[in-house]
Structure 1
């Protein structure tokens, strides 16, 4: 329960006035959730209407208030706005200073009225903080609308400039810059005022913030010194597709050395605009590949189609269009474009390999082997195709052949983890559990976080009746002190793989402590109880699902099947 008396107990001396009396003004509860900085205008227009409301506010500290009865306090201006005077009380001792900025999460209190040293009566909103922490003042006073991580570096004449990121706000545009003088003896100079932002044929000059103290880059940088700082520009259009930023340094000869960085703000729109004015195939390929990497496969196809308008026999445009179509799930068109590419270049190893993988992912292992063989006829040691054959034979149940091709891969690349897993799986299916575990262990030496190798190893340990060792191995991957919902469900499902259904239920119960209404977990517990032949218990969990979701098809099916089993026993 929040104590309502704390604000009343604090009779502080403030910077320019003292609290000599406090008046509680009746409030009207607002029908809203937690108030944030964006609600500040409404809240501070009449704070008494928002008493006992949860808030998540930021502000700049005007003064720290002397402790009173073990309670600490400060006076702040919310988002740095001097019209938003606020008293904050808190109990956790934290070191703050005047002009620090803070984030306050708590509950609004009755408005505080006081008389200053000149006799004037003033008022302040009041918040009892549940938590309070120091933040960057830019987060409160000049919050970024959009941040672009650029991480571009240019080096000229012994000067290295790294453009780390750019932040756009309503008040300014902020570039985080690192400048290094890589020379051995001479100073260089940097005048931030010579910097320019450029957008749509307009230039944006540097500016200054009176509210936030951003780190500055010194104008003189000696040899071997690195300077970090923030360059402020006038507000730029965050909704545009791109922007340029120009910075200028000078060496001992006073020659200007310019560094120009191109920054893409909206990648898809930028590439779309570039696509409309570009007819160069190399650039079009680059645009298509960039859009593909962004996951915008439809737009990538537009770029590849434009390549094909210029050159219908461009095999890589055909192949990349096929891969993009596959990502979109348009499988009927995928083969057509692979085949067009292979009709032009029948021995193209990359496209043959793509087609082998395509058939493998469709579960057509015989076709996958045929195309892998076409690759191997050209390049016998192509490990990806050897591994496709190993994996295909594994899925076809030809475990001896799977091991043979996995071994061929491992002779060429002993650390090829996919081949090691395929070999381990084949050995496990042949009942050679000890050798299978060795293969999985080799994977885990290379990548300790390979979940497939870990789970397959633990299932194999269970086959060897080493249940305790399997559980210990699992706990290394899923730490005991982890309290995440997904961790508990993963642990539970692993226990099910080990056929340890009681252990699975224990972890599912922990997941339910976090999310009691997870219908998926409730069904999983019911299914685990079915495995333990606790049919009445299983039905109870299916009923819990149906109380939450009466039309849940899986709960209805499982309950029906379990009821039939229970009736047969009766």
Structure 2
């Protein structure tokens, strides 16, 4: 019973887009008519059968023959023979002598009713793998798996939504919207789907369309804090800061423990010229954060507010706290340098700008500000 292990790079084989692959010649070579048990090995301790297949054709060739065979490389899903050669050397470092043998074989997937082994719920297995890929940030591969799972049930709302999520993370917002809208036709009272469309439109820089979708989501559930939060962000993009503040305050009446809401509230208050109130919001956000990326952003935002209020020493303290979490952030380092400049501490300012230029030699802000400092030393 030959076993074929499939990983992330074999998505085309799993999806059925390709049915030809290459492996080092096994001790028991494959023959036409052999039954393949195909497993997913994304995690070493988790090998689950994806499908059974029948081998339809086998060629045994040497590594030397593979190296110069561009036609074969393309059939196997590679751009050219050089890419195939590089991958084989990486996968089989001890089998790349000229006469080392490989088997190139084609197979035909068998319907579950023809399986010899125990049957499984293929859709659930594929979804499980797609979810794992999604969590790993492999959004393209995850989308392919979700779409394969969708072939088992084209009306699966959750799958349509997850495909939309993947496409959004890939920056394909138009395609994401199409999948969200298909899901809405099946579940017209789902506020999260309308909200996801609103987010996609916002990322497409179409806030007016985003607002319309947000209105639909809010109509279904006016107390959904996720919908309210994104509605506030939409109004921010529309520069209607009073409206944005209204929605962030509405969330805090329902739940005042979300640091992101307090942070955005601070940003909006700054835009309205209410810097002192903004500082209080940033303080609340910092209080609720646990030394994560958002905490760094909030410390930096508070520092920027203090910089605008000419409270330079306090601003520097905030930037230092932000840099404890986000050590190499050039924007924070530059702003810290500006605060030192305002205190006439040009040597400390130069240290900040030098750190930026070591990491980002072409950073224009650091270049100009460093020159100004050197002139004042």
TM-score tier by shorter-chain length is: 0.5 to 0.7
Give the match for residue 526 of structure 1: 367
Question: Structure 1 residue 334: deviation in Å?
Answer: 1.6
Question: Structure 1 residue 518: deviation in Å?
Answer: 5.2
> For residues 387 and 497 of structure 1, do their structure 2 counterparts lie closer, same or farther at Cα, with a shift above 3 Å needed?
farther
Question: Structure 1 residue 280: deviation in Å?
Answer: 4.1
> For residues 265 and 416 of structure 1, do their structure 2 counterparts lie closer, same or farther at Cα, with a shift above 3 Å needed?
same
Give the match for residue 492 of structure 1: 333
Question: Structure 1 residue 274: deviation in Å?
Answer: 5.9
Note the alpha carbon deviations across 1:38-73, whole angstroms, 9 max, x for none: xxxxxxxxxxxxxxxxxxxxxxxxxxxxxxxxxxxx
Note the alpha carbon deviations across 1:165-191, whole angstroms, 9 max, x for none: xxxxxxxxxxxxxxxxxxxxxxxxxxx
Structure 1 or 2: more strand by fraction: 1
> For residues 405 and 294 of structure 1, do their structure 2 counterparts lie closer, same or farther at Cα, with a shift above 3 Å needed?
same
Give the match for residue 288 of structure 1: 130
Question: Structure 1 residue 272: deviation in Å?
Answer: 8.7
CA distance in 1, matches of 2:186, 2:338: 48
CA distance in 1, matches of 2:153, 2:355: 60
1:408 aligns with 2:250: yes
Q: 3-state DSSP class of the match of 1:443?
A: helix
Question: Residue 306 of structure 2 is aligned with which of 446, 449, 461?
Answer: 461
Give the match for residue 218 of structure 2: 376
CA distance in 1, matches of 2:147, 2:290: 43
Note the alpha carbon deviations across 1:409-432, whole angstroms, 9 max, x for none: 001110122221221111111111
Question: Structure 1 residue 408: deviation in Å?
Answer: 0.3
Gaps in structure 2 of 5+ consecutive residues: 1-38, 53-108, 113-119
Contact 1:421–1:439 under 8 Å retained in 2: yes
CA distance in 2, matches of 1:518, 1:425: 27
Question: Residue 394 of structure 1 is aligned with which of 219, 223, 236?
Answer: 236
Gaps in structure 1 of 5+ consecutive residues: 1-239, 243-262, 538-570
Larger RCO (CA within 8 A; separation ≥ 6) = 2
Q: 3-state DSSP class of the match of 2:362?
A: helix
| Aligned positions of 1:349-368 closer than 5 A | 349-368=191-210
Q: 3-state DSSP class of the match of 1:519?
A: coil
Give the match for residue 44 of structure 2: 265
> For residues 404 and 531 of structure 1, do their structure 2 counterparts lie closer, same or farther at Cα, with a shift above 3 Å needed?
farther
Note the alpha carbon deviations across 1:179-226, whole angstroms, 9 max, x for none: xxxxxxxxxxxxxxxxxxxxxxxxxxxxxxxxxxxxxxxxxxxxxxxx
Give the match for residue 253 of structure 1: none
Question: Structure 1 residue 387: deviation in Å?
Answer: 0.8
Give the match for residue 105 of structure 2: none
Contact 1:347–1:378 under 8 Å retained in 2: yes
Give the match for residue 451 of structure 1: 296
> For residues 332 and 491 of structure 1, do their structure 2 counterparts lie closer, same or farther at Cα, with a shift above 3 Å needed?
closer
Work out the number of aligned pairs and report it: 267
Give the match for residue 276 of structure 2: 434
TM-score, normalization: structure 2? Answer: 0.61
Question: Structure 1 residue 507: deviation in Å?
Answer: 1.5
Contact 2:248–2:265 under 8 Å retained in 1: yes
Give the match for residue 331 of structure 1: 173
CA distance in 1, matches of 2:209, 2:179: 17
CA distance in 1, matches of 2:181, 2:271: 36
| Aligned positions of 1:173-212 closer than 5 A | none
CA distance in 2, matches of 1:423, 1:430: 11
Question: Residue 312 of structure 1 is aligned with which of 154, 157, 169?
Answer: 154
Contact 1:394–1:422 under 8 Å retained in 2: no
Question: Structure 1 residue 467: deviation in Å?
Answer: 0.8
Give the match for residue 508 of structure 1: 353
CA distance in 2, matches of 1:497, 1:401: 32
> For residues 322 and 499 of structure 1, do their structure 2 counterparts lie closer, same or farther at Cα, with a shift above 3 Å needed?
farther
| Aligned positions of 1:37-436 closer than 5 A | 242=41, 264-265=43-44, 273=50, 279-436=121-278
Contact 1:271–1:291 under 8 Å retained in 2: no
CA distance in 2, matches of 1:518, 1:474: 19
Note the alpha carbon deviations across 1:298-356, whole angstroms, 9 max, x for none: 33223322332222211111111122222233333222211211122222222222112
CA distance in 1, matches of 2:374, 2:212: 47
> For residues 491 and 350 of structure 1, do their structure 2 counterparts lie closer, same or farther at Cα, with a shift above 3 Å needed?
closer
> For residues 375 and 510 of structure 1, do their structure 2 counterparts lie closer, same or farther at Cα, with a shift above 3 Å needed?
closer
Contact 2:202–2:210 under 8 Å retained in 1: yes
Q: 3-state DSSP class of the match of 1:310?
A: coil
Give the match for residue 219 of structure 1: none
TM-score, normalization: structure 1? Answer: 0.42
